[in-house]
Chains A and B, each alone.
Chain A
């Protein structure tokens, strides 16, 4: 065992009560670091799940076609003014091939084709305006987790069934097994049976959306060869801007990350993350101040011993190593203790999917336990440098004479 390490360890074990107290303080700071990381991460996930969770992380649509020239007479100057359409006129051709390409990209967890359009849902004399999404039955849960949201019926789509939200079902007095007519903006109609009623928790989806089989949607919206969009879910929603750029480069299509479609949510998450960073920084500063002040006291108390060591031939560098090692060991012991405390305290919290109103959204997997321990050890080591340097400069004659 290197001798400086042995001395540092001996000093820590010689006054076990003081060491335990100091390590406990560090452990508490690490616990706060882990708790804040898990809370901020969990809160972000909850927000995303509750809002963005029902939306694609990246939406791929066809590139807007160039506006047509209104005059082909080259002797005249053409002034073309185009009113942007609220409905995308163009769809994606050969979308399956594009999806295959997209699915090979790193970080893409799921990609599904959608044919969307506006329609009215008719039941007897009741008529409700709805937004219709045609989904691939085998990828039904790619974006919205219908399998976790069903109140009645099953999360399954066939050519003659549809899924509707609980609010819409209440408004129309609908239940599973009942028949409705869906009339698209194209004028086409289709008669479908309610296969399931879900509650996502998002008002627009629960109250004004219907989900049908993509084949039925193609017929309803006269889109036999195209899809409206490719909806993509990522392993890490934070990677959406980068992944969208890669998708655009790979496909030439227009890829929009959720950070653009839900800018306010993104800003809120960024602000929240910054708040967490500030709080975590305070935890680290607490560690640095605590360890630095404690080691200052220790070096003061051990001045005669430092003087003896110097008299016996210990170099200034050796003294620095002894006290920096002490700081590092306190950081490591406190860090590991805080990590264990964090695990024990946070594991019992329900997963983000199961969080009920009033419960803290803690995601222990985002607790940054390893990072917390590493940063703490580093911070403690750095905090020890100043007292260690002060110790190394102690005059042995003066110290021994005390």
Chain B
């Protein structure tokens, strides 16, 4: 087995396995998976339901620990890291855009966007407020910063989620079916926004999707089936 070495790659996975349960009920979801993502790539992760896309995304997002293998990102060995280190790493370097936006309903759009920064700083600093306002302006919601998220439309909520993902200027944004819950017009707006951010800021994206149009908009397509990468095209 080749050890993962520091390189230009943003992240590298080698022989990664993920098994849920044990004994007769064990489910082998990811099998000896190798993957490398370069900084600035916009990658689509496609595959049927149950193929292991979400599990892979959760492992890359440090929300889930792999069962075995090697996982390095930004030259950090994340396989051996404890929960506190993974939490701090996630906060600093990873942004999430979920299918169902997953915003905090009792907070305003601005507060939601500030959240990752406020968590890290322990308070809402003026500089964070300015950046969150800029992010909301960038996603076209400057006039909605004081709105509770429950008052926003589905497309607006997803754009707030994108702004939140950008807040800490992460190295990697993981998007799990980011347009899966949106109408076509909103979906196009959100994808245009993600593409724009990728081009302008060089932010790396890994987008899990069933939508061929979205996959076509990405510079790289990785297909996963039965826990293995079956195709990888740039």
Q: How far is the CB of B132 from chain A (nearest CB, A)?
A: 13
From 359 to 399 in chain A, residues with beta carbon under 8 angstroms from any chain B beta carbon are 396-397
B63 lies within 8 A of A313 (CB)? no
User: Which residues of chain B from 104 to 163 have any CB-CB distance to chain A below 8 Å in the complex?
Assistant: 104-107, 115-116, 118-124
B116 A312 Cβ-Cβ under 8 A: yes
Q: Is A315 an interface residue (CB 8 A)?
A: yes
On chain A, the residues within 8 Å of B88 by CB distance are 313, 315
Is A312 a contact partner of B106 (Cβ separation < 8 A)? no
Contacts of A316 in B (CB 8 A): 83, 87
**Among residues 149 to 180 in chain B, which have CB atoms less than 8 Å away from a CB atom of chain A?**
164
Contact of B120 among A10, A307, A313, A400 (CB under 8 A): A313
* A345: chain B residues within 8 A (beta carbon): none
Q: How many whole Å from A115's CB to the nearest CB in chain B?
A: 74
User: A3-B122, A10-B106, A309-B119 known; A315 and B84 CB under 8 Å?
Assistant: yes
With CB as the reference atom, state the residue of chain A lying closest to B165: A312
Q: Are A3 and B105 in contact (CB under 8 A)?
A: no
The winner among A14, A312, A315, A396 for most chain B CB atoms within 10 A is A312
For B58, the chain A residues whose CB sits under 8 A away are 397
Q: How many A residues touch B, CB cutoff 8 Å?
A: 23
CB-based contact B115/A312 at 8 Å: yes
Confirm or deny: A80 has a beta carbon within 8 angstroms of a beta carbon on chain B.
Answer: no
Interchain CB contact under 8 A, B92 and A14: no
Cβ contact within 8 Å between A308 and B91: no
Give the distance to chain B from A270, nearest Cβ to Cβ, in Å.
50
A162 to B20, CA, bound (A): 97
Quick one: given A2-B122, A3-B118, A400-B98, are A311 and B90 in contact (CB under 8 Å)?
yes
- A313 in complex: contacting residue of B91, B102, B107, CB < 8 Å: B91
List of A residues within 8 angstroms of B98 by Cβ: 400
A309 to B103, CA, bound (A): 9
B71 at the interface (CB under 8 A from A): no
Cα-based distance from A81 to B120 in the complex (angstroms): 87
Complex CA distance for A312 and B173, rounded to whole angstroms = 12
A315 to B121, CA, bound (A): 12
- Contact bitstring A113-131, B, C-beta under 8 A = 1, else 0: 0000000000000000000
- Measured CA separation A304–B104 after assembly (Å): 9
Instruction: List, sorted by A's number, 16 A–B pairs whose CB atoms are closer than 8 Å.
Output: A3-B118, A3-B122, A307-B102, A308-B103, A308-B104, A309-B104, A310-B63, A312-B90, A312-B119, A312-B164, A313-B90, A314-B91, A316-B87, A397-B63, A400-B98, A400-B102
